[in-house]
């Protein structure tokens, strides 16, 4: 599908991933991209969804809007994470179908995988167990939307696709320690500990779990490619295929941010899923996606962005 002159609605297009995707789409010549903001279109409200689709008459909907966060935010708000994510997606898919949208791109999450999925995670294993408890309400809400798009394809021939990105990181990530994911949280903690001259930095968990990370611009490129080249609702992993333990990640970020003190792990805090690493074969075969930015380089770019973005705001010397 040539997206350039299509009317495209990108929900969540002002968020972390969304702003990179919108920039990429516009840079590729897409001249009718609309980003609804939650203050004007609250996607948990059916009337707002009807109004959005009626006003914009999109040919393509890319659904990124969601309530997202790290383990702490998920543990504090499991009901809200389930209810809002399910409601937004379910209503948006239904009304997109009813209003004749030609393609619906659903951005799901790796948190939908079972807690003990064999590594590397293959899409066929998605249904073989219950997700890790701390993010199960979020992961299950998004998982049901996969089924919704499959059912709408089967019953109505509606063209929806399901992408499952791994943990993302990069410039414009959320660095609020109450709600952030692991990489921005560690960058901020290390940078602040360095500035205060702390001798010890405490990090949640045992350090043993592994994670895979994808640089946000790679994720935006994957969504763009899939929106153009892929037309089937079976879920597709979007990742880098690189696995790293949390302990090794902390050491890498400490080194890159210049924190030289001791790193102390706090095993009384939850670890989350034991291992995460994706089989990325399907994305390569179906829409020719492969990650390009390796973790050390992506971290350098993210840290550089963070250091330059926060200094004026927080009044540090240049």
Ligand X SMILES: NC(=O)c1ccc[n+]([C@@H]2O[C@H](COP(=O)([O-])OP(=O)(O)OC[C@H]3O[C@@H](n4cnc5c(N)ncnc54)[C@H](OP(=O)(O)O)[C@@H]3O)[C@@H](O)[C@H]2O)c1
State both tokens at 34: 């609309």
Question: Least distance to ligand X from the beta carbon of 167, Å?
Answer: 5
State both tokens at 164: 């499952």
Question: Least distance to ligand X from the beta carbon of 75, Å?
Answer: 17
Active site residues: 138
Please identify, using beta-carbon distances, which residue of 163 and 193 lies nearer to ligand X.
163
β strands within the chain, DSSP E: 8-11, 33-34, 60-63, 103-107, 160-165, 167-169, 200-204, 210-215, 235-238, 243-245, 262-266
Please identify, using beta-carbon distances, which residue of 67 and 190 lies nearer to ligand X.
67
Within 8 A by CB and 6+ apart from 104, the residues are 60, 61, 63, 93, 96, 97, 149, 158, 159, 160, 161
Please identify, using beta-carbon distances, which residue of 43 and 222 lies nearer to ligand X.
43
Closest to 271 measured CA to CA, from 119, 79, 134:
134
50 neighbors 72 (Cβ within 8 angstroms): no
Please identify, using beta-carbon distances, which residue of 142 and 193 lies nearer to ligand X.
142
Alpha-carbon separation of residue 39 from 22, 146, 252, 288 (angstroms): 19, 27, 39, 36
Would you tell me which residues interact with ligand X (CB under 6 A)? 11-12, 14-18, 37-38, 41-44, 64-68, 88, 107, 109, 165, 167-168, 174, 181
Please identify, using beta-carbon distances, which residue of 109 and 159 lies nearer to ligand X.
109
Give the CB-side neighbour count of residue 212, counting CA atoms within 13 A.
25
Question: Least distance to ligand X from the beta carbon of 262, Å?
Answer: 28
296 neighbors 230 (Cβ within 8 angstroms): no
Question: Least distance to ligand X from the beta carbon of 255, Å?
Answer: 23
By beta carbon distance, the residue nearest ligand X is: 15
Please identify, using beta-carbon distances, which residue of 6 and 181 lies nearer to ligand X.
181
Dump the DSSP string for 257-316.
HT--SEEEEETTS---SS---B--HHHHHHH-----S-HHHHHHHHHHHHHHHHHHHHT-
């Amino acid at each position: 599908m040539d997206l350039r002159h299509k009317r495209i609605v990108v929900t969540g297009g002002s968020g972390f991933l969304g702003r990179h995707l919108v920039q990429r789409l516009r840079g590729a010549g897409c001249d009718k991209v609309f980003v609804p903001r939650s203050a004007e279109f609250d996607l948990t409200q059916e009337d707002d969804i009807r109004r959005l689709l009626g006003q914009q008459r999109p040919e393509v909907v890319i659904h990124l809007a969601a309530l997202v966060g790290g383990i702490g935010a998920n543990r504090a708000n499991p009901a809200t994470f389930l209810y809002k994510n399910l409601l937004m997606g379910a209503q948006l898919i239904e009304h997109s179908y009813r209003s004749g949208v030609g393609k619906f791109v659903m951005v799901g999450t790796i948190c939908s995988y079972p807690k003990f999925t064999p590594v590397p995670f293959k899409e066929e294993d998605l249904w073989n167990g219950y997700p890790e408890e701390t993010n199960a309400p979020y992961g299950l809400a998004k998982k049901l939307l996969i089924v919704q798009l499959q059912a709408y394809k089967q019953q109505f021939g509606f063209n929806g696709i399901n992408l499952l990105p791994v943990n993302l990181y990069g410039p414009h990530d959320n660095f609020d320690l109450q709600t952030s994911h692991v990489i921005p949280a560690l960058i901020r903690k290390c940078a602040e500990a360095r500035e205060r001259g702390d001798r010890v930095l405490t990090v949640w968990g045992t350090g043993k779990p592994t994670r895979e990370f994808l640089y946000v611009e790679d994720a935006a490129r994957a969504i763009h490619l899939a929106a153009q080249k892929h037309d089937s609702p079976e879920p597709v992993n979007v990742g880098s295929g690189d696995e790293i333990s949390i302990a090794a990640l902390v050491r890498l970020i400490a080194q890159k941010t210049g924190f030289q003190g001791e790193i102390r792990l706090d095993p009384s805090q939850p670890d989350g899923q034991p291992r995460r690493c994706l089989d990325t074969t399907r994305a390569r075969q179906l829409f020719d996606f492969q990650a390009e930015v390796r973790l050390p380089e992506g971290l350098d770019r993210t840290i550089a962005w963070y250091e330059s973005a926060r200094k004026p705001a927080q009044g540090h010397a240049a």
